[in-house]
Structure formats: C-alpha cells, structure tokens
A and B are shown apart, each in its own frame.
Chain A
Amino acid sequence: MDHLLIVAARDNAPVDYLPVFILLLLAVVLSVSQLAISWLLGKRVETNEAKDEPYECGIEADGHAHTRFSVKFYLVAVLFILFDIEVVFLYPWAVHFGGGVPDGVVFETRGELLGFLFAEMAVFLTILFLGWYWVVKKKALDWEEA
C-alpha cells in the first residue's frame, strides 16, 4: 500500500482533531470580538450620509454599480490563479526532494526517489511552460493589443 497517503484514520482519537477545533475557536472569537468591539466603542447613530454609502471607507462611491470591467482583468486574474496554484505545488515537491520522504518507503534507494521526483517535475514543468507559451502567443498577456 502507498504509505504516502494512507493514514490509519480509525485509530485516531478525537484529540487528534484538537488543532482543528482551536482554529475554529479562533475564527469564532475573532469575528465575534470584532463585532463586539465596534458595538461597544462606536457611536450609535440612526443614519447619516456616510452610513448610506456602499462602503464605509471614506472614499465616495463613483459611477454605476453595474459597470462592465474589461475582460482583460478577468483574464489576468484567471492566469494569475492558475500559475499561482502551480507554484504552490512546487513547495511540497521541494520538501520531498530535500529529504522529506524516508528511504525505502516508496523506492528502494534514494537515487531512485530523486530520479522519479525529477522526472515528474520535468513533465509537470514542460506542460506548464507549454501552456505559458500558448498564453503568450495568444497575446493574453498583451494589455494593449488583445
């Protein structure tokens, strides 16, 4: 069986989920406390001009709510997310490459493991760069022309 992924879940005690509960607790405490602080410290006014603004940030709202944004923004956003996530994928890879996996678990020798990891990343990056090449050639990153 593949030891990389298998965790003996049924042997887990509830205490193993403690970090999750702490995180949950922190989230609840943070949000409740922020609301509570503004309620305690803030000056209560029924309504005024600032309160009616969509965003109470001091800058006056300008223009119509349904303005169309250029599709270029979305394009850049999508591409950013795409490459961002793929960069994230490099980190666990680097950890493994740097010795995160004990020898003899998946592969017999360290050399085999490194060879495999390298080949895998080579394939991944080839696909990534081919995609990037395609994006560049399609002028998706050309702000002026596209």
Chain B
Amino acid sequence: MSALTFAIFAPIVGMIAILFVKKEEAEKAKTIGFLTSLVMFAACTYVAWQCFHIPEGQQYVLESKALWIDLGGSFQVHYHIGVDGLSGMLIFLTGLLSVCAALASFTIKQSVRGYWAMFLLLHCGVIGTFASLDMFLFYVFWEIMLLPMYFLIGVWGGPRRIYAAIKFFLYTLFGSIFLLAGILIVYFAVTAEGSGFTGNPFSIPDLTDYALAMKGSGGILHNFASSLSWIPTAVFWGMFVAFAVKVPVFPFHTWLPDAHVEAPTPISVILAGILLKLGGYGMLRINFPLFPEVLADSAFIIGTLGCISIVYGALVAMAQTDFKKMVAYSSVSHMGFCLLGFASMTSEGMNGAILQLFNHGTISGMLFLVVGVVYERAHHRDLNRFGGLMWRMPVYATISSIAIFASIGLPGLSGFWGEFLSFAGSFKGLYSGAKIITVIATLGLVFTAAYYLRAIQKVFLGKTNPACEQFPDLDKREFWMIMPLLVPTILFGIYPKYLIEIYQPFVESFMTLVAKVGA
C-alpha cells in the first residue's frame, strides 16, 4: 500500500473506529478524529515531500493502479492514483487544514460521533479526488465529498442550515452531472473506430498525452468532425460548469455565501480552504489539458468571468455587515484571480493562479477561524457591534490583522504572490482584450482593501464596545489551530520558491500543451 492510498483511506479507518464508539463515551470520537487527522497530516506531508523528487521523465509519483470495474471491451475503470507537484501541494494543504479544522471542531457538542465520522469521510473524498488519475474514480470521489458536506452543514450549521445544505448539494450535483456526461462522451469518442487512441479511455495521463498528440488536428474529440463540431466545445463548457460551481465562478456562486454563513467554523475552513480548490484543480487536471484548443478559443470568456468574479465579489463583500459573509464573498473575489491566471495561458499567469490556490487555502482558512473565534465569544458576527478588540485581545487582533493583510495582498505575505503573478500573466495574456480585462480586475484590489480596512477599523480599532469588555484572548487550543496556517502565510510570503518549485514541472508540461495552440 502506497503512502497515497494510506492517506486516502486512513480517514475511513478512523471513521469505522468512530462507528464503534459507544454513545456514552462520545468524547472518544473526538480523540480518534483528532488523532486520525494528525496521521492524515503526516501522510499528506510525506506525499507532498515525494513530489519534490519526481524522477526525470516521469510525471507522477506514488502511482498505483488496480482494475476496479471491468464492463467489458475498453470500459475499464481503474483505481489509478498518483500525485504530481500540483496535487501533492494541494494534498499537503488538505492535511494542514484538516488538523486546524479538527482543533476548531472541539467546540462541537451535538452528535459528536456523527460529526467526526462525516468530517473524516469528507477528507477521504477530498484526498481521493486530488489523487485520482482515472476520470471515473475522480468523479466517484468528487461525489463522495458531497454527502458529508451536506450533513455537516445541514446538521451542525446555523439557523438556515437546511436551506444552505440543500442548495450546496443541488448546485454541485447539477454541475457534476455535466462532468459525468462529459466523461462518457469522451469515452465514446476516443474508443470509437478511427480515433487512433490506444490508451485507457479513462486515464487522465493517457488522455492528456493524446490531447497533446492531437493538438492542431481536432483535439481528442476529432471524431465529431464535421456536423457535430460543436460537441468538443459543449463538453468543455459542461465540464467547466461542473468545476466552476465549486470554484465558484460568478453566475454559479450563489450557494457559497449561504453555505459559508450557515456552516460551523471548521467546516467553513474546509469549504473555503480545500473544496474551492477542487474546482480550480479539476480545471487544471481535466478540463484544460483535455481541450487545450477550446481553452484557447474561450480564454476571453474565462478571463471575463474571472474579472466579474473579482470585482463583483469585492463589491458585494463591501456591502456586508456580517463578518463571515464578507469573508465568504472575498473568497468569490479571490478565486477569480485563478481564472484570470488560467485564461492568460502564460507561464506567469499559471504560476500565479496555482499559488493563489494554495495561498487562498491557508489565508481564507485562517480568516474563517478568526471569525469563528469572535463568534464564539459574541454569538453574533455583526461588524457594527464590535470595536476595540485590539485592546482586549491583542494576540487575536495581531493574528487577525496578519490574515487580513495577507488576504489584501500585502507584499511580504503569501497572498501577494498569487495576485501579483496572476495580474502580471494576465496583462500579457494571449487573447485579445486581456489588458482591458486585467485593468478592470485591478479595481477589485482597491475594493478589497476598502472592505478589509473597514473591517479592521470596526472590529479591532476604536473605542472598545462595552459588550466586548469581557472577551478573553485566544486560549491555547485556538492559538495552535491558527498557527499552522499563519506560518506558511509568512514563510511563503517571504520565500515562495518552495511552492513554485514543487508544481513547476506541472506548469511546464501544461505550457507545452497549450503553447502551440495559442501561438
């Protein structure tokens, strides 16, 4: 069993252990859950470490492959997993956030066993999705994530939790049906007579190689040549919708504020920190490599969507009085940078977008923890009813300010690099109109600074609100749940080279895939 398989199924083992915990000893579930997340973190770190040493000429490490479903003919679904720098980095992020979220989950008092079981199942789905190299397996893990999330929001969430949970579920399911249809159409196209495809029709590496080989001669769906030439475009956009719902991109984002506001703090952390990354990851792993030509044709639309997400998200965030909702909308805005970077199809843009995936994970995770801390003391999140926390909770205020400044993109903190490189890449983007779109998108930065500074002012500065007089500062647990995220924020802000190094092979191969098409 490879370390990767271990990382995927360790949470399942923990979950089964929790199912055997007796009702009277429900607290044990907490211990098991936390220990499992520590084990998971160790495994994820090991996996990520391996990605620094990918041997020459090999794209993935820790690969394992076993036949899972054989429906005859070429319809063979494999349990095929492996990581490259991109997925390794995101798996590390998952491990990191799972520990923080586990620490934050200690305050959950209701149905403890169920909570931890779902919490662990969610991580199995997430790590599995990141590790899958088989499209069908990817889809199955993708869907496995949905249910625990639905329950975590719906059972342990806020007052409108049920509405938010169903909305989250239906939006994602709606998208993923397009993904499944896309997988099937690709399967039928590449296995049809005369496609010239010899690999496994579900294998992501095989299909990516095929896409590279067929570049300039119709792409992987060239079988649909004349009368159905719209099909590759339709499949591309279908898959795009599936991932865009998760990112979330502008017209599909409305589930996000609801889900975030209602979800308990640790779940918000995972939602913003990991699940949103899955959308971007899916685009990078499946959507774009399989259809580089369609990507080149659609770059303008994707860039525009990114731009709208950035500006619109920032503007809506500015109008919020709810601290958490503001952070939620800031996520919409910040994930827009990724799209902007993707659309540029330049090396800088890709670097920026991928950096943004990781850094937004740590920073937004931190922000949601910060909001959770204050919510637990005040039991509300109204920005207008705080004030002067700097004097009551100095440690908390310092950490929060670092998180917020990182999110604004202050140089020296990790958020800066993602935004900077995305913009730099986008400005020299290969599609017409890239410059105008980039310029408009920079407006988003101004708005971002505006709402965050206003939040700092309302919450931390000024006269201490009498209601906040008695708030204690961070206790040990709270301090240590934020710390693991604070360290990389500062570390990668000063020295982002480690991050860039780990996923650089991916960017290089991706650039060769899209390069000729764009030129």
Complex A–B touching at CB under 8 A: no
Chain A residues near B (Cβ < 8 Å): none
